[in-house]
A and B are shown apart, each in its own frame.
Chain A
């Protein structure tokens, strides 16, 4: 205990003052109380010393979410001109132990910035992602490192590896979109087509994977789903062997885009779209019944002929 250490005898611990009738009072362990009583003392005196730095590590171990302690640690690191390589080793170990904490990742980012050295980052983050491929903080840190230090080159390859391991990893699909949007973009027809083909390939492998359907829509919607030649036909073909509520929803989207951008065949296309909304609401995606009914009503209102509109809406 710090209270028993000779080297700390000069410092008067500061007990936490919750007031006379505390609320949400935590039954801190003896160790916790001891460490934080001394942390508060350091803060009060604005002490900048090596012993203070050591104490912050103990305080962090007891509660890694205490952002006040982390801030103070950073102040100390700067003031004492500590070896930041050593700090990288420290923060690496802490993150391995507690990868789902905001403060640890922010601290690592600060150290990387101070060192201006991202060289360990992609490998480190990949290691964390190998334990939890969807860790949100890890992906956030990864996107920051890549953008800040322009480390785009090998990332698409990394994403493909992750998708090989789990084609349902939505974080990986998001990263795919991130990389391509920030490098080649999707306006080049060769790139867009490559991505469409990649997506269709993944759909055939795992038809009930919502991520890939969302990705396909995501990359085509700016240009318009109905503008991609042959896509509707390909989807209608897939409908026979690889049907899913996602495929049906995608068809609704294609038809809607058609209605938005073309003037012919409105009644026919609208009728197909409404039929699908009805099918989804009633049978294929009933958990979203209210949503699909709304979509149907909206389409009818926007594209239906006035006479049919009122009758249709009141029956749905």
Chain B
């Protein structure tokens, strides 16, 4: 993101197209305020940067924006230097990832030798042994639509598990259109390669999902999202239930991928089809069981394995009453 920012800034200064840049710069700066990575300090520094490159009118605009901004004292040296440095760091990071990618390609898929990948029957995909493992996940609750549930994620005891805990509240948000509420969710971030290209998981050799969890008796829902480029398929996911037992013992949950049913926009659809495993983007856990109160879920690790005893391909038949077109 910072790269694109700098490139666009460079082109503006090259073109010396002040009117256009004046009009769009506030828009640009606010938009990049959302997507700011931690390396980037202040998006308002960019007008100051443009002014340093010799645009007098851009400098005026930059001055104006400097007054508006909160605590920039000397826009020329300190924020700029760190901004440049942040961009350089990011470029170096991406190039290093690209180099790793090319080198790994020679060794085998994902950097492991081919025979190891082909013969693999059980694979740990996510484990929780440190803070960097927690960064691969993001938690949401119905606070985004105005509800009152809270959810937090932290490392569990002795850094051996992750604890997802919070309070569920099914009080509907008073926005005039929703009459039900109360959900909490934890989703994995999409795996990214060099230059932020999406890298979906390929689990085509496995047929069962394995979770080692410890819950409090609440029913959860496991959602798997595929990597799709079409916007129309953005809200489609495959889900199944995960019932926790509660209690002090660790629970092993094995869900075959053939049991996942298809849903779009949060509703189960009539035309059901199998989950295809070659491009999995993310996995998520949702709690929405309409019971108010505190909850917790402790996850040790998430893996996939190939269960040789499971031969089912898909668990749900399509009904001719609901989809007559499929049966013509």
Q: Do A and B bind each other?
A: no
Query: A residues engaging B (CB < 8 A)?
Result: none
Query: B residues engaging A (CB < 8 A)?
Result: none
